[in-house]
């Protein structure tokens, strides 16, 4: 509650609201904190921005900073162990932030019910589904039905049981159906402070599309384990667009802008508040993504990446020992690079995944180390130096993702009104538009490797590309499909990519009995090694028996 109150106060300030404190009383006698607020008096409009901004920021950090390395969108050349090599420590292991937002969200739901605010209740169900979905996506079994009930006083709720992934996934899908009904009235019929809704400005119709599109995400998530349930769910939504509207264009994407005033509300790689430029400087494009984008002639590469500052050229006619810069090109003789991997692409060079225990030295970097500036590897586009920008948004769910889901469903042969090809092409078109490259669609869709081939691997590969800065979703897709067929680099701590986040040790100690029961339901694999069940390479229910991703 203490953290909730702190965020509550911040939300008040953020909305530019002023409390009218009148009819003052003897505060010493009453023992009341004039700057505080009780749960019984909490205003849902003031709780809403705290939940929305906190969730979006956390999801963006997870996708861009934590899992971008796993899915080989980016690599770090310093402070790289977690990002490149899966040596996870710190924040990624903790679900405290997610449950913190869920507690605030539960308070908003209760207050909305008491005050008869259907908009806020509907939104609370969508955000509950979003957050619990992330928790089970990341960790597997987790507290769900007994969570958020400590105030009821029963000791069992202080140490909640872990529900199975199946229960959580199907539970949140049911909650999204409830949200769809609550948000089905015309926009103008709801009581809501528009400025408090930082996603949609108080438009219930857009939240309704969010709810149903999120349901599509989770139906597809469990399709390998509950195929009939997933098939029926997706078919029902698509067959009834009036009852279940979904996100169909970029104008309905679920986005959050960054304010850019300080480190807490700015894009994570910005350098405005870091004079050394370390956040931006240490993050490089990953070779896996760069090479594939070049092969496909993808116009988004220039939006996401910067060309190398100084390309390398190996000249066999130069004397031994030649290493010089001429007209902005580094010229070297073959003996200088003997036994050393060198990428001589004149435009874009990515840092290979987990390339070594000193990735800053890659591609003949003349200044390897913590403070290196590597002129021979592509940085992110300069726009990612900024604290905010037109493309620097937390992207919670997009029209591109929805259409890729429908493309995969149609590819499976499920009863959808349009073909897999139509949905696939629409997904690419929406992604290009969202990155300002819509005019390149006609040419791009004809490229070899992009033109539709009616395979799951192609659908998921394009979805992986489109998930730039939302790598969490591509990781979840990779786990259930095995695509794209990524390989761990030589310095990674396992030879395969991880498939879950381990339970943190504090949870194993505090809620030991229930955590240990949950671990019994997790399957050890050949890659779990000494971590046993609580390994990033052990399989939760979602992957058991699927032979995926490995």
**Domain termination residue (choose one: 217, 246, 263):** 217
| pLDDT tier at 37, thresholds 50, 70, 90 | low
What does the alpha-carbon distance between residue 497 and residue 407 come to, in Å, rounded to a whole number?
26
Residue 27: per-residue pLDDT:
35
Q: Please tell me whether residues 203 and 324 are part of one structural domain.
A: no
Nearest to 50 by CA among 125, 89, 85, 100: 100
Query: Which among 171, 384, 375 is positioned nearest to 266, based on CA atoms?
Result: 384
Pair (298, 211) in one structural domain: no
Q: What is the pLDDT of residue 479?
A: 98
Q: What share of the chain is helix, strand, coil (3-state, %, to 5)?
A: 50, 5, 45
Range of the domain at 182: 2-19+37-217
The reply to whether 238 falls in a domain is: no
Same domain, yes or no: 142 and 7: yes
Whole-Å CA distances, 287 to 78, 125, 374, 523: 16, 40, 15, 32
Q: Which residues contact 517 (CB under 8 A, 6 or more apart)?
A: 161, 162
- In a shared domain, residues 71 and 164: yes
263 domain-assigned: no
Q: Kindly tell me if the per-residue pLDDT of 39 is higher than 90.
A: no
pLDDT in the model for residue 371 = 81
Among residues 378, 401, 416, the one where a domain terminates is 378
Asked if 213 and 291 sit in the same domain, the reply is no
Output the domain CATH number for residue 76: 1.25.40.390
pLDDT band (50, 70, 90) for residue 28:
very low
User: Residue 279 has what pLDDT?
Assistant: 85
Same domain membership, residue 167 and residue 81? yes
Whether 274 is covered by a domain: the verdict is no
**Residues whose CB is less than 8 angstroms from the CB of residue 386 and which lie 6 or more positions away in sequence, other chains included:** 260, 267, 270, 272, 392
Peptide bond into 484 cis (omega under 30): yes
pLDDT-derived band at 155, boundaries 50, 70, 90:
low
pLDDT over 70 (residue 15):
no
pLDDT at 5 over 60: no
Instruction: Give the torsion sign (CA, 357, 360, 364, 368).
Output: negative
Alpha helices in 116-239 (DSSP H): 118-139, 165-182, 204-221, 227-239
In a domain? residue 83:
yes
Q: Which of 31-35, 193-197, 472-476, 497-501 has the lowest mean pLDDT?
A: 31-35
More confidently predicted of 291 and 27 = 291
Is 240 part of a structural domain of the chain? no
Neighbouring residues of 106: CB distance < 8 A, sequence distance ≥ 6: 124, 128, 148
Band (17; pLDDT cuts 50, 70, 90): very low
Within a domain: 199: yes
Both 8 and 129 in one domain: the answer is yes
- pTM of the predicted protein model: 0.92
Which among 329, 348, 378 is the end of a domain?
378
203 and 341 in a common domain: no
Q: Report the 10 Å Cβ neighbour count for 525.
A: 17
Do residue 183 and residue 297 come from a single domain? Answer: no
Q: What is the mean pLDDT of the chain?
A: 92
**178 and 324 fall within a common domain:** no
Position with higher pLDDT, 484 vs 22: 484
Residue 514 placed within a domain? no
Examine residue 105 and state whether it is found in any structural domain, yes or no. yes
The answer, yes or no, to whether residue 3 has pLDDT greater than 50, is no
**Token duo for residue 324:** 């010089």
Q: How far is CA 472 from CA 65, 89, 96, 107, 164, in A?
A: 10, 17, 18, 27, 21
The DSSP output letter for 449 is: T
> How many domains are contained in the chain?
2
33-47, 228-242, 504-518: the lowest-pLDDT one: 33-47
Tell me the per-residue pLDDT of 274-314, one tens digit each, with 9 for 90 and over: 767 788 999 999 999 999 999 999 999 999 999 999 999 99
**Is 302 in the same domain as 192?**
no
For 356-378, the three-class secondary structure string (H helix, E strand, C coil) is CCCHHHCCCCCCCCCCCCCCCCC
Confidence at 487, pLDDT banded by 50, 70, 90: very high
Q: Using pLDDT thresholds of 50, 70 and 90, give the confidence band for residue 68.
A: very high
DSSP per-residue codes, 467-485: TTT-HHHHHHHHHHH--S-
Higher-confidence residue: 163 or 274?
163
pLDDT at 22: 31
The answer on 291 and 373 residing in a single domain is yes
């Amino acid at each position: 509650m203490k953290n909730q109150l702190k965020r509550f106060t911040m939300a008040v300030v953020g909305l530019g609201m002023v409390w009218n404190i009148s009819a003052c009383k003897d505060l010493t006698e009453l023992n009341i904190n004039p700057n505080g607020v009780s749960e019984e008096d909490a205003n849902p409009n003031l709780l809403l921005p705290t939940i929305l901004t906190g969730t979006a920021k956390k999801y963006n950090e997870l996708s861009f900073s934590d899992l971008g390395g796993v899915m080989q969108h980016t690599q770090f050349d310093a402070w790289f162990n977690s990002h490149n090599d899966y040596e996870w420590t710190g924040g990624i292991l903790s679900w405290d932030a997610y449950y913190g937002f869920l507690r605030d969200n539960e308070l908003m739901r209760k207050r909305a019910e008491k005050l008869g605010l259907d908009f806020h209740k509907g939104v609370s169900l969508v955000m509950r589904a979003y957050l619990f979905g992330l928790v089970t996506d990341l960790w597997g079994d987790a507290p769900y039905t007994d969570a958020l009930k400590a105030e009821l006083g029963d000791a069992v709720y202080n140490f909640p049981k872990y529900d199975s992934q199946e229960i959580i996934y199907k539970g949140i899908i049911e909650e999204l159906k409830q949200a769809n009904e609550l948000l089905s009235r015309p926009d103008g019929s709801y009581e809501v402070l528009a400025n408090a809704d930082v996603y949609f400005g108080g438009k219930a119709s857009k939240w309704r599309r969010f709810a149903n599109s999120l349901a599509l995400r989770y139906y597809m998530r469990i399709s390998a384990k509950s195929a009939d349930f997933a098939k029926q769910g997706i078919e029902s939504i698509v067959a009834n667009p009036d009852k279940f509207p979904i996100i169909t264009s970029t104008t309905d994407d679920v986005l959050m802008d960054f304010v850019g005033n300080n480190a807490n509300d700015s894009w994570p790689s910005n350098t405005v508040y870091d004079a050394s430029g370390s956040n931006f400087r240490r993050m490089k494009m990953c070779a896996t993504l760069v090479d594939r984008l070049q092969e496909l002639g993808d116009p988004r590469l220039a939006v996401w990446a910067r060309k190398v500052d100084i390309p390398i050229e190996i000249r066999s006619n130069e004397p031994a020992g030649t290493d010089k810069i001429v007209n902005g090109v580094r010229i070297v003789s073959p003996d200088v690079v003997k036994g050393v991997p060198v990428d001589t692409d004149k435009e874009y060079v990515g840092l290979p995944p987990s390339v070594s225990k000193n990735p800053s030295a890659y591609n003949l970097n003349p200044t390897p180390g913590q403070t290196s500036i590597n002129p021979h590897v592509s940085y992110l586009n300069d726009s990612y130096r900024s604290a905010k920008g037109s493309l620097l948004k937390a992207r919670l769910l997009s029209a591109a993702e929805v259409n890729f889901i429908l493309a995969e469903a149609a590819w499976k042969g499920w009863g959808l009104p349009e073909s897999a090809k139509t949905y696939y092409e629409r997904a690419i078109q929406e992604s290009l538009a969202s990155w300002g490259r819509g005019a390149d669609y006609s040419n791009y869709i004809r490229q070899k490797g992009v033109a539709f081939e009616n395979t799951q691997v192609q659908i998921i590969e394009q979805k992986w590309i489109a998930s730039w800065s939302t790598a969490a979703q591509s990781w979840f897709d990779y786990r259930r499909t095995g695509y794209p067929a990524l390989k761990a680099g030589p310095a990674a701590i396992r030879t395969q990519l991880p498939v879950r986040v381990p339970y943190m040790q504090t949870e194993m100690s505090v809620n030991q009995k229930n955590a240990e029961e949950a671990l019994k339901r997790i399957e050890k694999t050949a890659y779990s090694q000494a971590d046993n069940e609580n390994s990033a390479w052990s399989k939760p229910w979602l992957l058991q028996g699927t032979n995926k991703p490995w």
